[in-house]
């Protein structure tokens, strides 16, 4: 499971941040997960819950904001939110598309108790 290694690196960051802020515990963690990031939010949640035991984040909750795939056609400048992954402009059938969002995997926010 790809998500386990992501969660492992996430926890390295969390522990570092907690140390920096001299936090007692981590209350919540918010991630932004793009539709094209290759990460499945449910797997990420499961991995997080397994991993958090006996860490500073043991009682924390994970919030995931799913970011849809958004593209812009370079020919007709239309912006489209895709729920399928068919990379063709709906207006002009162009395949020259630019990805605006949906590939990200970001640590958006950490809530700490100091
Ligand atoms: Zn177009």
How many angstroms separate the alpha carbon of residue 75 from the centre of ligand 1?
Answer: 5
For the sheet with 61-67, list strands across it: 61-67, 25-34, 105-113
Q: pLDDT digit string (tens) for 78-99?
A: 999 998 888 899 999 999 999 9
HEC readout, 5-68: HHHHHHHHHHHHHHHHCCCCEEEEEEEEEECCCCCCHHHHHHHHHHHHCCCCCCCCEEEEEEEC
How many angstroms separate the alpha carbon of residue 84 from the centre of ligand 1?
Answer: 16
pTM, whole model, 2 decimals?
0.86
How many angstroms separate the alpha carbon of residue 40 from the centre of ligand 1?
Answer: 29
Decide if 31 contacts 65 (C-beta within 8 A): yes
Residue 86: the pLDDT is 87
Domain boundaries, the chain: 2-67+102-113
Name the packing angle between helices 41-52 and 2-20 (round to 10°): 50
Q: pLDDT digit string (tens) for 41-53?
A: 999 999 999 999 9
How many angstroms separate the alpha carbon of residue 103 from the centre of ligand 1?
Answer: 21
CATH topology (fold) of 2-67+102-113: hypothetical protein PF0899 fold (3.30.2320)
Structure tokens at 91: 């207006």
């Amino acid at each position: 499971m790809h998500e386990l290694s992501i969660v492992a690196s996430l926890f390295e960051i969390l522990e570092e941040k907690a140390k920096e802020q001299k936090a007692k515990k981590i209350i919540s963690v918010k991630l932004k997960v793009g539709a094209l990031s290759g990460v499945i939010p449910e797997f990420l949640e499961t991995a997080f819950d397994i991993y958090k035991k006996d860490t500073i984040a043991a009682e924390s909750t994970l919030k995931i904001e799913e970011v849809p795939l958004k593209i812009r056609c370079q020919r007709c400048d239309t912006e489209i939110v895709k729920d399928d992954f068919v990379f063709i402009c709906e207006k002009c059938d162009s395949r020259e598309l630019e990805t605006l969002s949906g590939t990200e995997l970001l640590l958006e926010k950490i809530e700490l108790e100091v």
